[in-house]
Amino acid sequence: MAETPPTFSLDFSLGGDLPVNRMGFGAMRITGDGIWGPPKDRAEALRVLQRSVELGITFIDTADSYGPNVSEELIAEALYPYPKNLVIGTKGGLLRTGPNQWPINAKPDHLKEALEGSLQRLKLDRIDLYQLHRVDPTVPFEQTLEFLQDAQEEGLIRHIGLSEVTIDQIQQAQKYVEIVSVQNMYSFDNRKWEAELMYCEDNAMAFIPWYPLGGGNLKAQETLAQISEKYGASPHQVALSWLLHRSANILLIPGTSKVKHLEENYQAASIRLSEEDYETLNQAGAQTFTG
């Protein structure tokens, strides 16, 4: 990919027909510890959601497994009836057996139950973006894809996305349905899924990095801290800005349970890195391309 220009656009069309702000919000952290149960401060969680819309965020990412159910319920409580430009993406395919426990279940019968529950909790007739949370190694992928295909044909799903998938899996899925987004772990110093990002870019798919704030590369983090000082910003803000510069198809979904942190994250969209600083970060993080 060519070197980044010094500016970037925050506009992206998800699936070609849903305009969204590339600085979105991930609603995982508005739940309790271990992404389990209700938040410690319910009022603050609701304020976070309301403030996100006030800031101009038009894409919120959640899942039935966040809580479980809690995140979706809070989104509806805080924001329904939804602004016309708000796109809510949710996910199915994981079970919850306790705090920080995420067994995979992408069997059609479970996905049917999960999708119906998400529609009810979010008070929607159709999910704008429904994402398979994980490919289930115990279930033929074709069965999962056939369910998603059927649900889309029934009008319950507008667009379909995948999470933690390889290019081969994306291509397999494309034989059944149009894939408009891929949500894989990715950050400036964790590039394991670099090839998948490039595939999404080449095919006009959104790439939604989760855990976007660092992959544990200490040397790269030191470089990040040094550059952040130049911009009067936090390392987290510059890490998010780098992602916005990285590719025009990246949608960010940093999450938090605090309004102050939400506002700090959103300010990352106003940071314009110089080409030199972008490339310095690019090289510093490149150590983990095959991590």
Q: Where are the domains of the chain?
A: 11-288
pLDDT at residue 4, rounded to an integer: 45
Contact 247, 19 (CB under 8 A): no
Condensed to tens digits (0 to 9), the pLDDT of residues 169-193 reads: 999 999 999 999 999 999 988 889 9
Condensed to tens digits (0 to 9), the pLDDT of residues 9-36 reads: 999 999 999 999 999 999 999 999 999 9
Provide the β-strand partners of residue 252: 23
Average pLDDT over residues 248-258: 97
Q: Would you say residue 216 has pLDDT above 70?
A: no
- pLDDT interval class at 5 (50, 70, 90): very low
pLDDT at residue 287, rounded to an integer: 62
| CA-to-CA separations, 95 to 9, 99, 106, in angstroms, rounded | 37, 11, 9
pLDDT at residue 214, rounded to an integer: 63
> Could you confirm whether 266 is annotated as catalytic?
no
The CATH class for the domain spanning 11-288 reads alpha beta
3-state SS assignment for residue 232: coil
pLDDT at residue 215, rounded to an integer: 57
Q: Would you say residue 161 has pLDDT above 70?
A: yes
pLDDT at residue 217, rounded to an integer: 72
Q: How, if at all, do strands 25-26 and 18-21 pair?
A: unpaired
Q: Would you say residue 3 has pLDDT above 60?
A: no
Count of residues making up the chain: 291
- pLDDT interval class at 213 (50, 70, 90): confident
Phi and psi of 150, rounded to 5°? -65, -45
The Cβ of residue 155 has, within 10 Å, a number of other Cβ atoms equal to 9
Least confident interval from 52-66, 99-113, 208-222, 246-260:
208-222
Out of 66, 130, 186, 266, pick the active-site residue: 66
Q: Would you say residue 289 has pLDDT above 90?
A: no
Distance (Å, whole) CA 197 – CA 243: 11
How much is the pTM?
A: 0.94
